[in-house]
């Protein structure tokens, strides 16, 4: 084996390793982090928040009507919507925020240094962007419901923050969807 052939083989092996690592950390459809990777990253931010006494927002975003889109127009259309939503989320959030798809139609956002109120405002901005993006789409109405929880007020670990944000989504969906609700705040509905 020649020296250049050895270098080529090592280079290709490193590229394959990098690709496999990326496949294990990224949702392939949307290009955002997957649940496993985002959980690792969020736990790191949670540790920083605890150590430096900084707020940390935990937001869940649930795409409304995706099942109906898939049934009426096919999964290709649903996948296009998911992919575009992933692009919007990556573009609109800060580089140090966590953006992930947790499965199906559920996305997760971790926002270090933001309190619940600021997190709700950020999600409202995203809701407006999504509404504008799909405004001319005659086939489907693309909306989402979101819940925003804050460490440590609404929970001190990923499980309790998830429950608080999920409860807020349930309240948002009960009011007609297409809105962002803060955790544990009945007076704080923010509809569009």
| Average pLDDT in the chain | 88
Structure tokens at 183: 């955790």
What CATH number does the domain located at 28-191 have? 3.30.70.270
| CA 29/CA 84 separation, integer angstroms | 10
Q: Give residues with Cβ within 8 angstroms of 63, minimum separation 6.
A: 81, 82, 85, 105, 106, 107, 142, 143, 144
Q: Say what the pTM is.
A: 0.82
Query: Residue 21 — very low, low, confident or very high, per pLDDT cuts 50/70/90?
Result: low
- CA-based nearest residue to 125, from 75, 32, 59, 44: 59
> Cβ distance 107 to 99 under 8 Å?
yes
pLDDT (tens digit per residue) in 98-157: 999 998 999 999 999 999 999 999 999 999 999 888 776 667 778 899 999 999 999 999
Residue 36: C-alpha distances to residues 33, 87, 96, 138 (Å)? 8, 20, 17, 36
> Cβ distance 122 to 130 under 8 Å?
no
Domain boundaries, the chain: 28-191
Q: Which residue has the higher pLDDT, 164 or 142?
A: 164
pLDDT at 1: 82
């Amino acid at each position: 084996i020649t020296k250049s052939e050895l270098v080529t083989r090592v280079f290709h092996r490193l590229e394959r390793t990098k690709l496999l690592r990326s496949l294990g950390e990224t949702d392939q459809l949307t290009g955002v982090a997957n649940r496993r990777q985002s959980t690792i990253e969020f736990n790191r931010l949670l540790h920083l928040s605890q150590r430096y006494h900084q707020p940390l927002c935990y937001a869940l975003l649930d795409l409304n009507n995706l099942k109906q889109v898939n049934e009426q127009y096919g999964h290709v259309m649903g996948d296009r919507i998911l992919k575009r939503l992933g692009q919007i989320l990556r573009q609109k959030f800060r580089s140090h925020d966590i953006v992930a798809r947790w499965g199906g139609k559920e996305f997760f956002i971790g926002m270090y240094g933001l309190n619940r109120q600021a997190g709700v405002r950020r999600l409202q901005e995203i809701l407006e962007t999504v509404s504008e993006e799909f405004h001319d789409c005659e086939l489907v109405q693309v909306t989402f419901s979101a819940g925003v929880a804050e460490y440590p007020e609404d929970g001190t670990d990923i499980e309790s923050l998830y429950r608080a944000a999920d409860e807020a989504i349930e309240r948002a969906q009960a009011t007609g969807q297409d809105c962002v609700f803060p955790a544990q705040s009945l007076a704080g509905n923010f509809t569009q």
